[in-house]
Amino acid sequence: MVKDNFELNPYEVSGKIDYDKIVSEFGLKILNNDILQRLKEKTGELHPFLRRKIFFAHRDLDKLLDRIEKGERFFLYTGCGPSGPIHLGHIATWRFTKWLQEKFDVELWFQFTDDEKFLFKDKSFEEIKNWTYQNMLDVAALGFDPKKTHFIIDSVHAGILYPEALKVAKKITFSTIKASFGFTNSNNIGSIFYTAMQTVPVFLPNVLNGKKELCLIPLGIDQDPHFRISRDIVEKLGFEKPIVIHSKMMSPINGPEGKMSSSDPNKAILLTDDEKTVRKKINKYAFSGGRDTLEDHRKFGGNPDIDVSYLWLQYFEEDDSVLENIYNDYKSGKLLSGELKSILINKINDFLKKHQEKRRLIEKNDLLKEFIFEKKC
Ligand code: TRP
């Protein structure tokens, strides 16, 4: 845990995150040009999130690249904690994961942690079950390959997960959990066990298939503490440490601190929002780096580096040169805050329109079952 003016762990993200500090305290490596170049040799191009340093750090990616060069295969693992509607902050990791799946043509194991959300949130199991279903629709609609994607739901696939989680749990002490997550004696006992469940997919495919493939985990950096624990113990169980690739947290709508959250639905863009709602939320709440008056803005220019509309556009405008022009025009005062917001609104609405149509078709044609791992338990 990093103590400062900010907090960053799986259960709390607040304040202005100092990513340099995190990298040194967590012991991560930066995705520097050398490693990005090596990756590019294999993928042909770099995803915009890599070019823009949204994915910016890693653990052992060099080792994965060595092994890929030897002709070895790997699998992807990421997840979703189903406690509410999916918002734009969740999907950056998953869009990037989809790109990795396409580029490397690999299997993806996608964990839905209904147990975690039941234990940590003040919600009934019924509510969490409903969010699990709703969230699975959104994840599936992002376009993963159903033949190569396996959704696992902790409570549903418990028969497969639990024996492995036990082996993990036996290697973790309560003091490690307290130090990693800031828990106290008043945390419920389920929450103390939970990280064992999140470790299991790191090696589960190898258990099921009898292979020895490396695991690559794309994640939001707040999830790293779980896998620091995993990396310490899976070798004791006869598996290799997972490779991790980390993204920064997408800024909330009201300013570049903390992370986006759906607990206040006005402050996050949900994947189910319609065009009017998106327009209204961004116009009303998106933190602006513009000047107070039109005159000042034209004269002194705006500050794109703290402007949420600009920061978000990095996730939705694929073309680097278009983005660069917007940056420069905003900084020089040529582009106004309202104009920048409307560029963003149109981009998000285009994205959501397609997404919502795919989601509708998946639900209507009952296609989720193609994604859910067939339980043999
Ligand atoms: N704990 C994560 C959440 O609350 C969900 C999750 C499970 C996850 N397994 C993961 C996230 C692996 C990233 C990678 O959202």
CB 60 within 8 A of CB 241: yes
> Which amino acid makes up residue 28?
L
d(C-alpha 31, C-alpha 33), whole Å: 7
CA of 116 to the centre of ligand 1 (A): 9
pLDDT tens digit sequence for 198-215 = 999 999 999 999 999 999
- Read off the pLDDT of each residue in 78-93 and give the average, rounded to a whole number: 97
pTM of this prediction? 0.96
The mean per-residue pLDDT over the stretch 133-152 comes to 98
pLDDT-based confidence at residue 2 (cuts at 50, 70, 90)? very low
Span from the CA of 81 to the centroid of ligand 1 (angstroms): 6
- Give the Cα separation of 141 and 89 in Å (integer): 16
Question: How do beta strands 55-59 and 214-220 pair?
Answer: unpaired
Work out the average pLDDT over 31-40. Answer: 98
pLDDT digits (tens, 9 = 90+) for 350-359: 999 999 999 9
pLDDT in tens, 236-269: 999 999 999 999 999 999 987 877 877 777 779 9
Mean predicted confidence (pLDDT) in 31-39: 98
Please tell me if the CB atom of residue 249 comes closer than 6 angstroms to any atom of ligand 1.
no
Query: From residue 258, how far is each of 7, 12, 283, 318, 364 by CA, in Å?
Result: 8, 9, 21, 25, 36
- Name the least confident of 1-5, 219-223, 299-303: 1-5
Among 356, 304, 369, 375, residue whose Cα is nearest residue 141 = 356
Q: What is the 3-state secondary structure (H, E, C) of 170-210?
A: CCCCHHHHHHHHCCCCCCCHHHHHHHHHHHHHHCHHHHHHC
Which residue has the least CA distance to atom 3 on ligand 1? 81
- Residue 376 has a pLDDT of 52
Residue of 8, 111, 153, 243 to mutate, ligand 1, most atoms within 8 A of C-beta = 111
The pLDDT value given to residue 375: 63
Cα–ligand 1 centroid distance for 300 (angstroms) = 43
182-193 confidence digits (pLDDT tens): 999 999 999 999
Cβ of 116 below 6 Å from ligand 1: yes
- How far is Cα 54 from Cα 101, in angstroms, rounded to an integer? 18
What pLDDT, in 10s, does the model give residues 263-303? 777 779 999 999 999 999 999 999 999 999 999 999 999 99
